[in-house]
Each structure stands twice: as structure tokens, then as C-alpha cells.
Amino acid sequence: MPSIMTGINQTILMSLSMVVIATWIGAEGPGALILGAQHYVAKGQRLLGGWQFCSLR
């Protein structure tokens, strides 16, 4: 059972990271907040984007 839960956890984390990667190639979505905050030092925007991903998980 622990190995199944580990697999589910890794699948969820990989799918969330793919959302951020998709914004690099031009897709709109929640990853756009994080990507936009990297260009400007916008800590509040980074926290909002991180909170969105944590709430999805």
C-alpha cells in the first residue's frame, strides 16, 4: 500500500509541474502567475501562485 500511495503522490506532483512547463510554451493557466512573478520580484504574486498549486494538491 505505501508504494501505491507514493506512486499517486509522484503522479500528482508531476502533473502540477507540467502546468508550469506548459506556461513556458505559451499556454495560459495558473502557472502564468508563477512564471510572471519570476521576471519581476513580486513575492505576493509568487505566494498566490504557490498557494494555488498547494490547494490543487
Question: Tens digits of per-residue pLDDT, 29-41?
Answer: 666 666 666 667 6
Structural contact between residues 53 and 30, judged by C-beta atoms closer than 8 angstroms: yes
Q: What is the pLDDT of residues 13-30, one digit of tens each?
A: 888 778 777 766 776 666
pLDDT at 14 (0 to 100): 85
Distances (CA, A) of 25 to 2, 7, 20, 42, 49: 35, 27, 9, 22, 18
Residue 32 sits in which domain range?
2-56
* Number of domains within the chain: 1
User: Which pLDDT score is estimated for 9?
Assistant: 86
The pLDDT of residue 11 is above 80: yes
Spatial contact of 46 and 35, defined as CB atoms under 8 Å apart:
no
Please tell me which residue, 7 or 42, carries the higher pLDDT value.
Answer: 7
